[in-house]
Amino acid sequence: MTDSDTIVFIGRLSEAESLFPSSKKTNLKGKTLLPGFIDGHCHFAGFPGQAVGAKILPPPDATAHNILRLLEVLKEWSTPENISLTGWIFGLGFDDSVLEEKRFPNKFDLDKVSVDIPIMIIHISGHFASVNSKGLELLKIDSSTVNPEGGLIRRVNNSQEPNGVLEELAAIPYMPMVLGPKDEKAMMTFLKSGQDMALSYGYTTAQEGRAMPNTHSFLEEVAKQELLKIDIVSYIDYSCADSLLRTDWHSPSYKNHYRIGGMKLTLDGSPQGRTAWRTQPYLLPPEGAKKGYKGYPAMPNDQDVIDIYDLAYKNKWQILTHANGDAAMDQMIRTMSIVQNKYGNNNRRDVLIHGQYVREDQLDDFQKLGVIASLFPLHTYYWGDWHEQLIGDSLVHFISPTRSALDKNLKITIHTDAPVALPNLMRVIWTATTRVSRSGKIIGKDQRLTVYEALKSITEWSAYQHFEEKTKGTLEQGKIADLVLLNKNPLKVNLEEVKDIIVMETIKDGESVYRR
């Protein structure tokens, strides 16, 4: 039972009727009530682009199984109304590991859709973009443009001519610029579409996991206009954190459903995109890479990483660190250890984001450092078969090792990283508990969570990660009435059915904000 936005009683119906005789009764008719869902890591500001843009995900989420179909989807989407939202033709989620051609679409492909209107499509990892010739022109990228540190502009063979594929820091800074709504009307379309999508999957709290200045400005503006229906907690990219974390938005409490929670640091790239930084070579290097290729760091100089951690520790700012390859995690451990020896670790709750290729000895190090591991077992379904080709059978079964992390007494959460994948948290539960790949292989059977543990990872444990365990994550008297109603009980159905469970209603602060 709730009073306004707070749960006032948990217990037997007879006692509730005695204590609250005038309260309204609702029969759930066999449906299941749970605490509202809190994604351990996602990018809420990317939800609108995923909801509004061309649907270029591969099956089962959309239909882009080859480049020809992807181009058809872009053409079908390219109405004047859609293009007017940003001035670009865009879509999120193409996946070279699933495309029949097993390569990235390039400018020559995208020019078949349009040579007059700029096009940007974003890789499913969020770490690459492909643009057409017009897009390269507007971004001022040509044969004389040098690769930025931590990024790569792919070139046409035996030349310096860009082929339209941009990696990491050659792509990421442009994404929010390109995908930003052009005007107030477009902003409203973006927000409504993205927020409605989140609500349909049971989100009551979402993370913006790498906010740039324009990302924060967007969220600040919609918060000021009181347009947010769920709580959004932002982690500001290190490059602009020093200013934004000194504003009133950086707070343990929300203002109109928005707050800044801390800082984000990215040390490498995408494992499925083969830019994660490893200590061992990839078995299958990317196009144009030499044998022995191990990916690469976002920040080659350890001192630069130490300086960022020092800033966070000195100011008592929580920091999330993206690291996928074991070399990147080695860098994280050795640099954070130096800073932690200087400042200590008093309830900091710093977080490892993803950790796909983590080693067992590194889990021990993270436990000693008090790092929360927000792992990404969704990879076992979407890219388990691909990882097997990239790193081999002996290592693939340890990707996102949730069971080992728990056994070593690490605190963990799990996440969607949406819009990398759809923000479907029931599919996250299913992958964490079955670890089945697209082809039906079991990827790391001994790393499975129970359904109950997986549910705690997106409720109670995720609330703890965000310093919100006193108000969210469990159904207890005095906590915020953030609730989700499912059509079936995940604890009682067969595991294979878990992925098909749907959200019937989402309740935020005691008010119904979504009904199917």
Q: What six digits make up the tokens of 16?
A: 């509730």
In whole angstroms, what is the distance from residue 417 CA to residue 411 CA?
18
In whole angstroms, what is the distance from residue 495 CA to residue 249 CA?
41
What counts of helices (H) and strands (E) characterise the chain?
21, 20
The per-residue pLDDT for range 446-503, each reduced to its tens digit, is: 999 999 999 999 999 999 999 999 999 999 999 999 999 999 999 999 999 999 999 9
- Domain 45-178 is of which CATH architecture? Roll (3.10)
CA count, 13 A, side-chain hemisphere, 128: 29
pLDDT at 271: 95
* Percent of the chain topping pLDDT 90: 90
Mean pLDDT (whole number) for 380-385: 94
In whole angstroms, what is the distance from residue 342 CA to residue 314 CA?
9
CB atoms within 10 A of CB 210: 25
Alpha carbon 161 to chain centroid distance? 32
Query: What confidence category does residue 177 fall into, taking pLDDT thresholds of 50, 70 and 90?
Result: confident
Residues forming beta bridges with residue 233, ordered by sequence position: 207, 259
DSSP single-letter state for residue 276: S
DSSP single-letter state for residue 355: -
The candidate with the shortest Cα–Cα distance to 99, out of 132, 138, 57, is 57
SS3 (DSSP) at 47: helix
pLDDT at 22: 83
Domain layout of the chain by residue ranges: 45-178, 190-511
pLDDT at 1: 44
Mean pLDDT (whole number) for 232-248: 96
- Contact by Cβ (8 Å): 415, 372: no
The per-residue pLDDT for range 182-229, each reduced to its tens digit, is: 888 998 999 999 999 999 999 999 999 999 998 999 999 999 999 999
Is 190-511 in the same CATH topology as 45-178?
no
pLDDT at 45: 92
Task: Name the pairing type of β-strands 6-7 and 412-414.
Answer: unpaired
**Region of poorest pLDDT, from 20-24, 156-160, 308-312, 504-508:** 20-24
Q: What six digits make up the tokens of 499?
A: 């992925």
pLDDT at 4: 65
Residue with tokens 């009307």: 185
The per-residue pLDDT for range 47-83, each reduced to its tens digit, is: 999 999 999 999 988 999 999 999 999 999 999 999 9
Beta strands in 102-249 (DSSP E): 119-123, 128-131, 151-155, 162-168, 203-211, 231-237
Query: What confidence category does residue 178 fall into, taking pLDDT thresholds of 50, 70 and 90?
Result: confident
CB atoms within 10 A of CB 115: 13
Mean pLDDT (whole number) for 321-329: 98
SS3 (DSSP) at 322: strand
Asked whether residue 418 carries a pLDDT value surpassing 90, the answer given is yes
Mean pLDDT (whole number) for 421-442: 96
Query: What confidence category does residue 352 fall into, taking pLDDT thresholds of 50, 70 and 90?
Result: very high
Q: What six digits make up the tokens of 36?
A: 């509202």
* Percent of the chain topping pLDDT 70: 99
The candidate with the shortest Cα–Cα distance to 109, out of 152, 159, 165, 158, is 165
| φ, ψ (nearest 5 deg) of residue 97 | -70, -20
In whole angstroms, what is the distance from residue 13 CA to residue 188 CA?
42
The candidate with the shortest Cα–Cα distance to 145, out of 160, 165, 132, 157, is 160
Query: What confidence category does residue 2 fall into, taking pLDDT thresholds of 50, 70 and 90?
Result: very low
- Global pTM? 0.91
- Domain 190-511 is of which CATH architecture? Alpha-Beta Barrel (3.20)
Asked whether residue 288 carries a pLDDT value surpassing 90, the answer given is no
In whole angstroms, what is the distance from residue 234 CA to residue 255 CA?
12
Asked whether residue 126 carries a pLDDT value surpassing 60, the answer given is yes
Average pLDDT taken over every residue of the chain: 95
- Contact by Cβ (8 Å): 98, 381: no
Query: What confidence category does residue 25 fall into, taking pLDDT thresholds of 50, 70 and 90?
Result: confident
pLDDT at 21: 87
Residues forming beta bridges with residue 155, ordered by sequence position: 162
